[in-house]
Amino acid sequence: MAIQPGHWQIEELPDEHAHRRTNIGAVYQGVREVDIALAVTAALQDLLEAEGWQVQVVPATVPPGLQADAFISIHADWARDTGRSGWKLAPPWRASPAGRMLAASLHRAFTEETGLREDVAGITVGMRGYFGFAAHRFEYAASPYTPAILVELGFVTNTADRRRMTEQPEYYAGILHRGLREYFSQFDRSDTALLTPPVFEPKTAGPFGATAYRSPDASAAVVQHLSPLQVIRPIGREGEWYEVRIRTPALSGWIHQREIATRQEITALPVRSLQ
């Protein structure tokens, strides 16, 4: 199990990340993101090691090809709007099935806490493409076969979030611990298919277009309507639903396979690129 306190030892990043060395993380009224992350990491490490788990605490410089049964990068956010609050989770763009299991288990653990809200629209491109697990771009990154996720616990700029994160690191460690226990109850490291990120061919929306939802559920919020035969690029799949990248604040959406064009429909009209 690998845990990374966000921005810890950031000044020691290798040359490929030299421009990030001054990014010390969020700071507000003397409260530092890195201190929150270190405290939660220490509390989580205690919980895991008490159960016999092997824990590796990883600095900002991720060992090249880091291999672990799970890799969690712990962070706290910042916003100009001090009323903004909540947690969020960001797996890699092309998460393996195990990576999606990790995200789902942690999501359930957080949503079970009635006193916390989810910052649903707060996930950024930088979070999904976090350099610590972007092995396709960087040498100093976790292996793509290591299930990974970036966790934002809350906002240092929000009074309630800040107080909870600074005064109750064990509370957040407990949430992460519960999510990890659920994840490992399903995890099988010998199942290589579970650890392999998916590869999808580009697809196109049907002749009447397609609707992208926030989650794989037709009752979920709509994030974008796609034009007929627009090119779409899947990054994940759950049953009959494809997760696709889209250029909106939502970053990705879910499209049902019935709205994906068939080969015959594709040849009927010129394909329009997704913008």
Domains identified in the chain, total number: 2
Report yes or no: 155 and 76 within 8 Å, Cβ to Cβ: yes
Residue 27 within any structural domain of the chain:
yes
Beta bridge partners of 149: 72
Pair (177, 58) in one structural domain: yes
Asked whether the whole model's pTM tops 0.85, one would answer: yes
Report in angstroms the alpha-carbon separations of 156 from 26, 126, 159: 7, 19, 7
Q: Which one of 172, 195, 218 terminates a domain?
A: 195
Find how far residue 145's CA is from the centre of its chain: 15
Domain containing 260 equals 203-266
**Same-domain pairing of 147 and 186:** yes
pLDDT of residue 263: 65
In the sheet with 210-213, reading across from the earlier edge strand, the strands are 222-226, 210-213, 252-256, 241-245, 234-238
**DSSP code per residue over 164-186:** HHHH-HHHHHHHHHHHHHHHHHH
Is residue 275 assigned to a domain? no
What does R_g of the chain's alpha carbons equal in angstroms? 19
Q: Tens of pLDDT along 179-229? A: 999 999 999 989 999 999 999 999 999 999 999 999 999 999 999 999 999
pLDDT in tens, 15-29: 999 999 999 999 999
Count of Cβ atoms closer than 10 Å to residue 82 Cβ: 14
- Stretch among 34-38, 199-203, 206-210, 248-252 having the lowest mean pLDDT: 248-252
Please check whether residue 184 lies inside any domain of the structure.
yes
Which among 154, 173, 195 is the end of a domain? Answer: 195
Q: Are residues 210 and 230 in the same domain?
A: yes
Shared domain check, 256 and 157: no
Say which CATH number the domain at 262 has: 2.30.30.40
Asked whether residue 262 is assigned to any structural domain, the reply reads: yes
Residue 100 lies inside a defined structural domain of this protein: yes
Q: Are residues 53 and 183 in the same domain?
A: yes
Question: Which pairing describes strands 231-232 and 210-213: parallel, antiparallel, or unpaired?
Answer: unpaired
DSSP 12-72: G--GGGGGGTT----EETTEEHHHHHHHHHHHHHHHHHHTT---EE--SSPPTTB--S-EE
Q: Are both 43 and 98 inside the same structural domain?
A: yes
**12 and 52, same domain (yes or no):** yes
Pair 138, 253 in one domain: no
Q: Which residues contact 1 (CB under 8 A, 6 or more apart)?
A: 48, 53, 54, 55, 56, 68, 69, 70, 180
Whether 186 and 213 share a structural domain: no
**pLDDT > 90? residue 264:** no
Q: Could you give the count of Cα atoms lying within 13 Å of 66 in the half-sphere of its Cβ? A: 31
Within this chain, do residues 28 and 55 fall inside the same structural domain, yes or no?
Answer: yes
Q: Of 195, 211, 228, which closes a domain?
A: 195
